[in-house]
Structure 1
Amino acid sequence: MSIARFSPFELLLLKSRSQVDTATLLLLAWVLVHRQHVSEGQRRRRLAQVTAQFRHGHELGPVMSIAHSQDLQAIQLAAEVLRKECAKERNLSVIHQAIAVATDDGALSLANHYILRFLADLLSIPPVTLNTLFHELTGTPLGAPDDPSRDAYWQIHDPDYHARKARDAEAAKQQHQQAQAQAEQRQRQKDERQQYKQQKQQEKQQEKQQRQEQASQAREREQQRQRERAHQQDQQRQKQHQEKQQREQAKREQQRSQQDSYQRNSDQNSNQNSRQQEHRQKERGNQQRTSPPPDRTTRALSVLGLTPGASRIEVRHAYRRMAQLHHPDRFYSESEHQVALASARFQRIKNAYDYLMQTY
């Protein structure tokens, strides 16, 4: 079996020359470490003195270390070794030594009150026997241990207990008050931070609203400027349209004036030609007793404003002049009736010209 699985006390038992002596040594050391107002050196010297006749064959240091560690399993193992290996008389001797070690200075510590009873129970020694041994050795009976949970114990063992308790209570009260004040201060700081945060949020909200209002006003101003520009552009377009209409009206009036002038000239030429023709006819009438009826050539020449006997060149020039004066495109701004009349005149002029150009 591996050594690592054994406890320090079990290893000490394995190395011991007498396991009974080693077990007794641990129990006595356990009582010594609970002695009050005793130094470690004094404990070791007292343990060496009590166990001078033991045959364990090892140092006391490891046993004292185990006793200081409060290893109850090791204590129980030591009691089992004594109960199995020793008779009742040896167990009584161990309890006798434990009582002697625990009461060397005449006072039994509270811890040893319980340790002696615990050891007696482990070694199967009745309480009556323990009380008898204790009375025989110390001259006083083994009374019940004091209860540390009661104030009477501390009044005897610690007269300053109530004053210290009052100081502790006052200190606890002050700490509570300080903690409460700190909590209130933290709460105030928290409230102030929350209020500051809310104020900042309100300011941000107001700034946001102001920016939105400014942006809305800017949009409205821009829309107003756009409407004004659109209105100005509409007025400018209307003005341009009116000017264009005026120019077109002036142009139509000018064209109408030119047409009237051309018409008057044409009428004058026609009248002059008519007079000339009448004059020629009178002359021919004088020469001839009877005049022949007018033929188609004469009518065509009359349409072009010419007299019989006109040359081909004169016919062409007359056609061009009459076509410019009576072309329908010159009457596009007039009524439909005027345009129809112009078309009819132009058609008669065109027919007369075609006929004369075929005849000549």
Structure 2
Amino acid sequence: MSMARFSPFELVLLNSRSQVDTATLLLLAWVLVNRQHVSEGQRRRRLAQVTAQFRHGHELGPVMSIAHHQDLQAIQLAAEILRKECSQERSLSVLHQSITVATDDGDLSLANHYILRFLADLLNVTPTTLSTLFYELTGRPLTSPEDPSRHAYWQRHNPDYFNQKAREAAAEQQARDEAAQQADEKHQQRKQKKQRKQQEKQRQQEEAQARQAHARQERERQRQRDDQSRREQAQREQARQDRSRYERAQGERRQWQRTAPPPDRTTRALAVLGLPPGASRSDVRLAYRRMAQLHHPDRFFTESEHQVALASARFQRIKNAYDYLMQTY
């Protein structure tokens, strides 16, 4: 059969070990290419982190290329695969990952506003569920996206046009003022002298304000450096405590290994979240949020690749434990 009959995404699916994972990969890549102020390298690294456990077995490059071309037929096909092959829980997991990669930097682009709603509709997730999931993951409500057809949107996002209009109006006003000033030369001279004094005073005030602003910026930068130092110290202390707890747990497990029966999967999952046996579903959810905020890989974005990899693996264990407990309870 001629390969020319297949689209690029269909060819990727034919070579995939898991079409469900490949379909999820394309939807996440589509969200990432619509992130603002993110380089291509950062997009690829973030996609590799999120899909580290996927079993697709092919390179990310072709999928990123399809996402960059905004191939809606391929995106529709990917969504149809997920809707047909995945359960409601898997669809919610895909939407969970989409919200995560769309809001890593705290901002949700206008394009991703619509993409998240589009994905929710394709995956049969209600708008109420989407809003609830968005709030749980970001701590912020999912507001309605801005309307590009409104005048206020372009006034906010393209201020150059409105500034030019303001400058033209100011120029016209200045021309009228000069025409009036020419009628009385003596009055014009006095006015110019007064204006020079005012300008000098204003310049001095602006210089003083600039010095004050610079001093505030320096204080803010110093505060940020201090905060960063404290966060890094807290992270190191947390890592040290985690290692200590792990070593103690290892020692206790070796000590009790001969007599104590091995813990079941539920007990191990609760231990990953730092919870005792018998914890409630609410306890599991609260523990997951706390652990996810503390160990999310993005907190280690400025660290070495090794540290980022360790953080990703640790976060994945936390995520797997949470998913299992949510399915079990």
TM-score using structure 1 length: 0.45
Larger radius of gyration: 1
**Greater relative contact order (CA < 8 Å, ≥ 6 in sequence):** 2
